[in-house]
Amino acid sequence: MLVALRVSAHSSVTMGLIGASVLTLGAALALVIFDKMQYIEFNFDIALALMLFGFIGTVVFAYVVGGDD
């Protein structure tokens, strides 16, 4: 998580978005683990939405940055 914070503070936009994506994935993982320890129903739903939107954002970002190749 500390590496993701450092990467997200980097000067390029690409590295910042990668760092933010890793932080979002870490937050979703923490919600899943917390849900397994103390069953709160909406934690898993929020984590699933974070992972889904993170995947969609990654695909869109790769399409935009990748260009016409």
Q: Which two tokens stand for residue 8?
A: 């997200």
Distance CA 55, CA 52 (A): 5
Burial classification of residue 63, based on how many CB atoms lie within 10 Å of its CB (0-12 exposed, 13-18 middle, 19 or more buried): exposed
Q: Are 34 and 46 in contact (CB under 8 A)?
A: no
What pLDDT score does 32 carry? 84
Distance CA 65, CA 21 (A): 15
pTM over 0.85: no
Distance CA 30, CA 9 (A): 22
What pLDDT score does 60 carry? 81
Under-50 pLDDT residues of the chain: none
